[in-house]
Amino acid sequence: MEIPDLPYTIPRLFKGKKIESVPKGSTWAKEEALQSWYVEFFFHNPQTGQMERFRPTKNLNRIKDPHEKLKHFTRLCEAYTVALEGGWNPLDERSNEELKKQISSINLLQAKVLFEQYHIAKGTREKSRRSYLSKVNQFISYYGEDKKVTDITDYEITDFLNTMERNEKWVGVTYNSARIILNNYFRYLKVNKYIPVNPVTDTETRTKIKTESHQIFSDEDFKKIMVWLKKYDPYCLLFVRMIYYTCIRPKELRYLQLRYIDLKRNVITVPASVAKNKKSLPVHIDPSLLKELKPLKIATYPDTYYLLGSTTSIVGPERIGENTPYNKFQKCLEETNLLNKNYTLYSFKHLSNVQKFKAGWTLAEICSANRHGSLAETETYLKDLLKFVKTDKVIPKI
């Protein structure tokens, strides 16, 4: 049998069974994402003389969002392409080890693709992956995509960090964060035999200069923010009021469909699939918030619509973009000259807890309102609450 020029075929993405029809209320993309996808390639087996088929999925079929699924499977396909082009043999684990020892064939860009695919398969949160890759990309940009991973020593690591610290005005926290990310990047390469030692291990750290984010608003600043939002951005106004009255996290609010809002019982249920703690727990709708929700006429929309799905009509059929609420609030801070105060969307949640505390709520009640798993988690707010503890009680006599 004639052996092909290459011992493998180029990996291709297959999206399972062909969609013949789309149910009412769904879309072609959503139905397609429900199928079992896989990456397919063939590799020549010299013992049988046949091309053997491989269909890896890396457990990515757990993803049901069509955009996310396509992105992850595309990256998986690219990762296998890079590995095969580098000489990876899926039939022989011994050849895999030999490949890993041929470290001169791996450059920084190829290593990044493998590092990213490792985190996708591991289930690392997308936001965390983006954070990791931002610093890795800066490092690659500094030295070039084609630089071999074996050419990186502790000198290159230190030179990069010091240059960024000097030119980009990195503070201690940023410097150390970049160092940790690069350490994880090169540790992955060392564990997988692409490099003999981790060049980051012995590099120095910086003293962290603490910067507190999610600061509580001053009364004057809070008034300026709310006045501006009422005048210029009703969408962001409702978004921050939802955070204040419910302590529901921004991501959870973006995912909040009308089906989870019960105005008759005054309860919002955050589904476990989007909750940070993976628990489906009810949230009480405060009377003040109820006045904000009633004019939206939620009952007139399909229950699959999102409460905060449109920046124009508020309620909308699609989930709002991840950065949309953040960008809108940043615009407000910019227009009110408050960008340097470390205010964020989470500041409204912190403000809510401070106001609860001042109104006489117990720590256990605040814990419940935040859907925290323990009082220890709630105590992270104490740094703000303690600023408001004032007493004129008499100290017991001794």
Q: What is the DSSP string of 172-186?
A: HHHHHHHHHHHHHHH
More confident residue, 379 or 240: 240
Contact 298, 308 (CB under 8 A): no
Contact 171, 209 (CB under 8 A): yes
pLDDT at 105 over 80: no
- The two three-digit tokens of residue 30, written as one number: 């959503």
pLDDT for 143 equals 93
Segment of 162-176, 305-319, 377-391 carrying the highest mean pLDDT: 305-319
pLDDT for 1 equals 42
What mean pLDDT do residues 212-230 have? 86
pLDDT for 103 equals 38
Confidence band, pLDDT 50/70/90 cuts, at residue 298: very high
pLDDT for 231 equals 95
The phi and psi torsions of 310 (rounded to 5 degrees) equal: -145, 135
First-to-last C-alpha distance (Å) of the chain: 99
pLDDT for 100 equals 47
- The two three-digit tokens of residue 338, written as one number: 């408050």
What is the helix (H) or strand (E) element at residue 90, kind and residue range? none
Alpha helices in 86-151 (DSSP H): 93-101, 108-122, 126-143
Fold of 219-388: hpI Integrase; Chain A (1.10.443)
124 CB-side CA count, 13 A: 15
CA distance 245 to 329: 17
CA distance 120 to 125: 8
Per mean pLDDT, which range of 313-317, 332-336, 374-378 is the poorest?
374-378
Environment class of residue 75 by beta-carbon count within 10 Å: exposed (0-12), middle (13-18) or buried (19+)?
middle
Could you state, in order of their start, the residue ranges of all structural domains in the chain? Answer: 12-191, 219-388
194 closest CA partner among 245, 229, 149, 224: 149
pLDDT at 72 over 70: yes
pLDDT for 205 equals 83
Environment class of residue 329 by beta-carbon count within 10 Å: exposed (0-12), middle (13-18) or buried (19+)?
buried
2 contact partners, CB below 8 Å, separation of at least 6: none
Per mean pLDDT, which range of 232-236, 276-280, 383-387 is the poorest?
383-387
CA distance 375 to 10: 53
In tens, the pLDDT along 127-172 reads 889 989 999 999 999 999 989 998 899 889 999 998 998 888 887 8
174 CB-side CA count, 13 A: 14
pLDDT for 89 equals 84
What mean pLDDT do residues 69-97 have? 80
pLDDT for 379 equals 67
Confidence band, pLDDT 50/70/90 cuts, at residue 398: confident
More confident residue, 207 or 18: 18
